[in-house]
């Protein structure tokens, strides 16, 4: 089943459910059903992290990606991509020759939200996540950040900003940069537009508690 169909089943099931135990079994069946497909193994990982009390507390909110900011992430040294809604169809198509970063844009979004890059090519797996040009230009012992920020708009018009930053120390060209720290942050706006900032475990709990359904 396509990702959109799965999302709709989950949304419908949670909104209509009045029994926590039945809801939990419903989600488990969907996630493990999809995990049978090698290309959709992440559903099993999603299931492992679902906590029912947060699902019932937070509900599930459909979101659309408004923009993605990338700094020093693989071939993206400094870029922001906007997904403005220009029609009722709201369709965005990425076109480019092989190797320009179409797949790594999807990897960047997944990495920002979940800390994983499920679609890396064999070539990319051999390269550091820190931009190669940044490594080349860095002084020995200098720290550089890899940052991906995903801004989304919810169906109830709230703005949520997910940011993952990984700090690397560079020791010179030809040497692998060493990871120093990872910081994950979620900013959530309230009805008045005020932003609540969640960090580290609190932020990760928020991401996995929904479950998160992000689409364009």
Q: Is the pTM of this model over 0.75?
A: no
Asked whether the predicted pLDDT for residue 14 surpasses 70, the reply is no
Cβ partners under 8 Å of residue 60, min gap 6:
10, 11, 14, 15, 210, 211, 213
pLDDT more than 70, % of the chain: 69
pLDDT attached to residue 55: 43
Band (pLDDT 50/70/90 cuts) for residue 77 is very high
132/150 Cα distance (integer angstroms):
22
What are φ and ψ of residue 83, in 5° steps? -115, 70
Asked whether the predicted pLDDT for residue 9 surpasses 90, the reply is no
Asked whether the predicted pLDDT for residue 205 surpasses 50, the reply is yes
Q: Is residue 178 a contact partner of residue 168, using CB atoms and an 8 Å limit?
A: yes
Band (pLDDT 50/70/90 cuts) for residue 211 is very low
Cβ partners under 8 Å of residue 199, min gap 6:
183, 184, 185, 186
Domains and CATH numbers, the chain: 3-58 (no CATH), 63-211 (3.40.50.300)
pLDDT more than 90, % of the chain: 35
pLDDT attached to residue 53: 38
pLDDT attached to residue 60: 57
- Cα dihedral across residues 207, 125, 3, 88: positive or negative: positive
190/4 Cα distance (integer angstroms):
27
pLDDT attached to residue 78: 96
Residue 81: cis peptide before it, omega within 30 degrees of 0:
no
**What is the total residue count of the chain?**
216
pLDDT per residue over 143-181, tens digit each?
A: 999 999 999 988 778 889 999 999 999 997 778 999 999
Averaged pLDDT of the chain: 78
End-to-end Cα spacing for the chain: 18
Q: Token pair of 179, please?
A: 């990871």
Q: Token pair of 39, please?
A: 């290309």
Q: Mean per-residue pLDDT for 21-46?
A: 58
pLDDT per residue over 84-125, tens digit each?
A: 887 776 777 788 888 788 899 999 999 998 888 988 888 889
Asked whether the predicted pLDDT for residue 185 surpasses 80, the reply is yes
Measured CA distances, 125 to 25, 94, 119, 198 (Å): 36, 22, 10, 31
Q: Mean per-residue pLDDT for 52-67?
A: 61
pLDDT attached to residue 94: 81
Residue written as token pair 């679609």:
119
145/73 Cα distance (integer angstroms):
9
Band (pLDDT 50/70/90 cuts) for residue 141 is very high
């Amino acid at each position: 089943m396509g990702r959109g169909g799965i999302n709709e089943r989950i949304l419908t099931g949670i909104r209509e459910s009045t029994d926590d135990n039945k809801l939990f079994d419903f989600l488990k069946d969907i996630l493990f059903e999809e995990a049978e497909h090698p290309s959709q193994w992440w559903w099993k990982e999603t299931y492992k992290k679902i906590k029912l009390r947060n699902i019932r507390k937070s509900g599930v909110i459909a979101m659309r990606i408004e923009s993605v900011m990338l700094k020093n992430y693989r071939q993206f040294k400094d870029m922001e991509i906007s997904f403005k809604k220009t029609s009722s169809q709201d369709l965005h198509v990425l076109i480019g020759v092989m190797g320009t970063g179409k797949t790594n844009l999807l990897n960047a979004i997944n990495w920002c939200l979940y800390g994983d890059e499920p679609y890396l090519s064999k070539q990319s797996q051999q390269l550091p996540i820190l931009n190669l040009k940044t490594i080349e230009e860095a002084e020995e012992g200098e720290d550089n950040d890899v940052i991906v920020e995903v801004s989304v708009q919810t169906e109830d018009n709230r703005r949520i900003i997910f940011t993952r930053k990984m700090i690397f120390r560079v020791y010179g060209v030809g040497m692998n940069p060493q990871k120093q720290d990872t910081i994950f942050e979620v900013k959530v706006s309230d009805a008045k537009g005020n932003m609540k900032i969640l960090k580290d475990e609190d932020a990760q709990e928020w991401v996995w508690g929904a479950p998160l359904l992000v689409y364009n």
